[in-house]
Amino acid sequence: MKVALGSDHRGYALKEFLKGFLRERGYEVLDEGTHSPERTDYPVYARRVAQKVANREAHYGILICATGIGMSIAANKVKGVRAAHVCSDDLVRLSRQHNNANVLCFGSLYTDEPTAARWVELFLKTEFEGGRHAKRVAMLEGE
């Protein structure tokens, strides 16, 4: 499974941690930047990850900035992306089960490494329930 990662400077350290975490578990990681802690603009990296997911070059995406909010807004501008900004285990699980989210977003200011690892693992292992939710997800896609 391929996972695209992206962050701005505020999420860089957590992205680097997750890159190793994912590779240790056998995931192929596409690191879309940033590649240093120097100040940068989060929409650039949100778009790169979102496009990888939308074009099916990656199965899922993970985006990190200071709050996760800007990344989720930027990623959701790309057709075919359902980016979820999360702050709890339940929201991670429900974003997959009910919304078939394909991009996970959270903030480095509010998420430590163990929590980020738990959320990423939960996100990647939780299945979309389909059923009554499938119609709603299709509506999000304009179908």
CATH number at residue 79: 3.40.1400.10
Q: Which sign, positive or negative, has the C-alpha torsion 110, 6, 62, 77?
A: positive
Q: Which of 9, 35, 59, 65 is catalytic?
A: 65
Model-level pTM?
0.96
Average pLDDT, the chain: 97
- The CA distance from 120 to 21, in Å, is 9
Q: Which of 59, 87, 98, 133 is catalytic?
A: 98
Instruction: Please report which confidence band the pLDDT of residue 2 belongs to, taking 50, 70 and 90 as the band edges.
Output: very high
Q: Give me the torsion for CA of 113, 114, 119, 124, rounded to 10°.
A: 90
Instruction: Reply yes or no on whether 65 is catalytic.
Output: yes
User: Angle at the Cα of 81 (from 76 to 85), degrees rounded to 5?
Assistant: 55
pLDDT, tens digit, 9 for 90 and up, residues 45-101: 999 999 999 999 999 999 999 999 999 999 999 999 999 999 999 999 999 999 999
Residue 143 has pLDDT above 90, yes or no: no
pLDDT of residue 16: 98
Domain count, the chain: 1
Structural domain harbouring 89: 2-140
